[in-house]
Chains A and B, each alone.
Chain A
Amino acid sequence: MIAQLPLLSIEDLHLDFDTFDGALHVLDGINIALDAGETVGIVGETGCGKSVTVRSILRLLPMPPARFSSGAIRFKGRDLAVASERDMRRIRGLEIALIPQDPMSYLNPVFTVGQQLTDVIRAHARNRPRDKRPAEKSAWEKAIELLTQVHLPHPEKQLEAYPRELSGGMRQRVLIAMALAGQPSLLIADEPTTALDVTIQAQILRLIGDLVDRLGLAVILISHDIGVVAKVCRRIVVMYAGTVVEDASAENLFDRPLHPYTQGLLAAIPKLRGDNQQLSGIPGSIPNLLQPPDGCRFYDRCPLRMDVCRTTKPPLVDAGGGQRVACHLYPGPRQEARYG
């Protein structure tokens, strides 16, 4: 079992936001691990904590009001939850890079693409330990190389352009180039295509998929659209109200979703092809995170709830075939072993 440490492992992470009304328990024991080169998608609806989870990996949340109350984020053996700001600077961009949601608001409108991209390249060169600095090459040449890598036509010309002169898809390519500038081993994409049209979305997803294959990057891709995640990721983590409810390979998740929330989510998605079947929504709304329920956070909306669900929080257990689920319907092998 001790083959090798995962690249990243989030271990029982609890995160609160302090507000005037009290502490919001935004993350309630998140467990996600991924190996080098692995592609994992996180899906869930508004307020499930998927963005907060990845932002806490990069420590991009304002602290306070955000506060880690327990747990660890181990990246290459180091706990990022307690790392110094100085260390984090060497990790952001160089080890873990972020592709944000809305490309326009992440580019400075008063500087050209080239100025912003070369800034990032130079900053990375400064932050890299002296012995690991790559061979000297001008930042401008490196910028052209990066834009070529993300298939942006006429890179020399685009470097002179201001962000407003680019289309949404081109801006997102520039941000992907920026993310690649530090040669990270983990790429986090937070709803990278939500602001884009569907044909452009397909281009960007194809690009991310190609880069992952070519550069062997590990990826965490977040989306509210489970179809987007399925395009890039082999494994999918489903979150609900600050908890991981299911973690499975894409095949297993679509063929046999185990958690009632996952089942509800999949039944709610209108299909493009086939019969015009009835959709079923999930009645009710997410719980108030100021006073989250003691037991399962899906209790109020769950069609299969039992008494135990109200009082006891279900742990994330192995349900076979690498599929993990947090639901009392699935006791998991450990409990079964006790009787066997």
Chain B
Amino acid sequence: MADVPLLQVKGLTKHFDIHSGRFGKAVLKAVDGIDLMLDHGESLGLVGESGSGKSTVARLVTGLHRPTAGEILFEGSPIQAMGSRDRRRLGRDIQMVFQDPHSSLNPRKTIFGSIAEPLTIHDALRGVRLRARVEELLETVQLDRRFMYRFPHELSGGQKQRVCIARAVALNPKLLVLDEPTSALDVSVQAQILEFLRELQDRLDLTYLFISHNLAVVRHVCSRVAVMYMGRVVEAGPTAEVFDQPNHPYTKVLLASVPEPIAGQQEAPVLGGDVPSPIALPPGCPFNPRCPSKIGSVCETLNPELVPLGNGTTGVRQVACHLFPAQLR
């Protein structure tokens, strides 16, 4: 049991069929063959720009989408092959927190009602025991119990996100998938939620799959990071190493593009061009039309594989770029 990663994703692919133009049918390659691994108690950040497929990965892992190809193994067993009993079990073990806390709470349910719902469905809790558990959960997320009979519109954004987190941890999940959990919040509230999430992870022994476009937030919460571009992982490794010494040209530009709160900062190179359409991906490496370090025709014809680059201090670094050929292994 000890060696089996909590979550393993192998060659995960999700293509959406979409209609384009008057007659045309097109395929949107949202996620195009990615491998991820999450050990118990780890926090993996998934970063990328809009359209990179990071949210689709979250939805695939939580079972909201069915993969087109590839495998998702939870504690070593493939989730697609699970029977209904195991699936139900999976619903307890994998929980999700969404970006917008306002739209993910039912406006007609009290806070008590929202947090109690998973408990009544999965644990068949009723009456005093249900109430006691909800109170306990509110305490876990540092909310006063007087919020219990209030409605979502009476709470601030940060308080609502705490309620969503309370609901997600109600069934003692093993894996928490957080999809941009602080993007809708102001920075002073975001800081509170991030610190709280770090503390909660230790306390409840949780594993996080943390999705965000905000690199600094990921740096703060995650021990490892995977950078996505156009449905592929282009670079992965320990967060501090990847951010301090990025290898992939895209990671470099992405990091250089973040406006940091420093006065008189040096001018960083700005990446030209637009994010390509995921319907018409360029052949070869999807980053080649914008890449500042393109080496030649190989970039236009061959999509580089994600290959290991030697050991970092806390894990393996991987990169998918022709500048780092597989021979280096």
Contacts and interface: CB of A to CB of B under 8 A. Distances in A.
Contact of A281 (B189, B219, B253): B189
29 contacts: A45-B186, A167-B274, A198-B49, A198-B215, A198-B257, A198-B258, A199-B254, A199-B257, A200-B274, A202-B257, A230-B260, A231-B265, A250-B264, A254-B263, A265-B188, A267-B191, A269-B187, A269-B216, A270-B190, A272-B216, A272-B243, A272-B258, A272-B260, A273-B243, A276-B220, A279-B194, A281-B190, A281-B191, A285-B156
Contacts of A265: 187-188
A153 to B, nearest CB: 9
Given A225-B259, A281-B191, 10 more contacts: A198-B215, A199-B253, A250-B264, A268-B187, A268-B190, A273-B244, A279-B191, A279-B194, A279-B220, A285-B158
B275 interface: yes
Greatest chain A CB density within 10 A among B186, B188, B215, B216 is at B188
Interface string B165-196: 00000000000000000000011111111110
A39 interface: no
A283 B264 contact: no
Contacts of B258: 198, 227, 272
B161 to A, nearest CB: 12
Greatest chain A CB density within 10 A among B194, B243, B254, B263 is at B263
Greatest chain A CB density within 10 A among B215, B244, B260 is at B260
Interface string B30-56: 000000000000000000011000000
Contacts of A225: 259
Interface residues of B, number: 43
Contact of A270 (B158, B191, B213, B271): B191
Looking at chain A's contact residues, the main secondary structure is helix
Give 8 nearest A-B pairs by CB, closest first. A281-B192, A227-B259, A268-B191, A250-B263, A281-B191, A282-B188, A202-B257, A197-B49
B216 A271 contact: yes
Contact of A269 (B254, B261, B275): B261
Interface in A169-204: 169-170, 197-203
B304 to A, nearest CB: 20
B187 A224 contact: yes
B325 to A, nearest CB: 26
Given A198-B213, A200-B275, A202-B268, A231 B259 contact: yes
A226 B268 CA distance: 17
Nearest to B215: A272
Interface string B66-98: 000000000000000000000000000000000
A205 B188 CA distance: 24
Nearest to A44: B186
Interface residues of A, number: 45
Contacts of A254: 261-263
A199 B193 CA distance: 26
Interface string B183-226: 00011111111110000000000000000011111011000000
A269 B194 CA distance: 11
B263 A230 contact: yes
Contact of A203 (B49, B188, B260, B271): B271
A202 B270 contact: yes
Contacts of B270: 199, 202-203, 206
B188 A264 contact: yes
A161 interface: no
Given A201-B257, A272-B255, A276-B240, A170 B265 contact: no
Contacts of A269: 187, 191, 216, 261
B272 interface: yes
Interface string B240-282: 1001100000000111111111111100101110110000000
Nearest to B276: A167
B252 to A, nearest CB: 11
Contacts of A226: 261
A254 to B, nearest CB: 5
